[in-house]
């Protein structure tokens, strides 16, 4: 199997991982990294064209992957996605809550429906994803096996001030607290929940912004004056999905190259 050079080695061959928002960006990156480490990967997104193609590439490289349609904000779609995942690989024991949206607008220009659109995915959708995963894990005996792993992708904006991101930052703060509370609720069910708070990573989505004077000014305001590379979260993600993190739950890990300092 060809590999993505992450510099880390974890054997996840006994794990079935569902990744939401897997069609692009970090979700696509996570899916490839997890498959490279041996996991059975379920790529979930609303539109399946891109995840179908990614699943094919992973399989061509010797990995195990399946694409499933999933609208995280829709309860029935979420249940159907887990059904499809189980039909392909059995119980999902590891969940990566990565799906997220943002709307670029000043707070005074944000309408109620725009706010609802952000929170329906970033908060409601995250809760539905985790809840459905937990229900199935508990039914499959996670309390005895101690094999449940959930990783929430929040943001440094959950804890630090980033002007112009009020609705998004609020949703990511909610995601952070949701993970903390659920980690306590499900601690005795053999499910570990941890949160990653990434800083700004250079992606196709933000590359145009950081090429503008405003983006350049933002970058130069950080202590190291740089964006992180796309592999910045690889090692932590693999650790949190692996048995090495069996004693870690309810923790929030900031990975931002000092951007929030």
Domains of the chain in start order, with CATH, are 16-255 (3.40.50.720)
pLDDT at 7: 53
Catalytic residue chosen out of the listed positions 172, 183, 200, 245: 172
Catalytic residue chosen out of the listed positions 31, 37, 154, 155: 155
Q: Is 82 a catalytic residue?
A: no
Q: Is 200 a catalytic residue?
A: no
Residues 59, 98, 160, 113, CA torsion sign: positive
pLDDT at 249: 98
pLDDT at 57: 98
Total-model pTM: 0.94
Would you list the DSSP string of 157-207? GGTS--TT-HHHHHHHHHHHHHHHHHHHHTGGGTEEEEEEEE--B--TTTH
pLDDT at 207: 85
pLDDT at 234: 96
Residues in the chain: 261
Say which residue the tokens 């060809």 belong to: 2
Whether 103 contacts 26, CB under 8 Å: no
Q: Is 168 a catalytic residue?
A: yes
Catalytic residue chosen out of the listed positions 6, 37, 82, 168: 168
Q: Say how far apart CA 252 and CA 249 lie, in whole Å.
A: 9
pLDDT at 9: 63
Mean pLDDT, consecutive 10-residue stretches, the chain (261 aa), reads 54 97 96 98 97 98 98 98 98 98 91 96 98 98 97 96 91 98 98 98 85 93 95 97 96 97 92
Whether 41 contacts 35, CB under 8 Å: yes
């Amino acid at each position: 199997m060809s590999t993505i050079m992450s510099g880390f080695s974890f054997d996840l061959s006994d794990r079935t991982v569902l990744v939401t928002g897997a069609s692009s960006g970090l979700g696509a990156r996570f899916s490839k990294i997890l498959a490279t480490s041996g996991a059975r990967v379920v790529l979930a997104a609303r539109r399946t064209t891109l995840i179908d193609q990614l699943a094919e590439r992973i399989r061509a490289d010797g990995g195990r992957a399946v694409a499933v349609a999933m609208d995280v904000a829709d309860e029935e779609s979420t249940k159907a996605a887990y059904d499809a995942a189980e039909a392909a690989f059995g119980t999902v024991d590891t969940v990566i809550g990565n799906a997220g949206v943002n709307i670029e607008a000043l707070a005074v220009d944000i309408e109620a429906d725009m706010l609802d659109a952000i929170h329906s995915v970033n908060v409601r959708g995250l809760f539905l994803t985790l809840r459905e995963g937990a229900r199935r894990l508990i039914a499959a005996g996670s309390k005895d096996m101690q094999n449940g792993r959930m990783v929430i992708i929040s943001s440094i904006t959950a804890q630090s001030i980033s002007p112009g991101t009020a609705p998004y930052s609020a949703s990511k703060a909610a995601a952070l607290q949701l993970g903390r509370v659920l980690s306590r609720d499900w601690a005795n069910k053999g499910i570990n929940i941890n949160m990653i708070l990434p800083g700004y990573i250079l992606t196709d989505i933000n590359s145009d912004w950081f090429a503008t004077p405003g983006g350049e000014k933002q970058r130069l305001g950080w202590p190291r004056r740089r964006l992180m590379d796309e592999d910045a979260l690889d090692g932590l993600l693999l650790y949190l999905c692996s048995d090495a993190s069996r004693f870690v739950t309810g923790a929030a890990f900031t990975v931002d190259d000092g951007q929030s300092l």
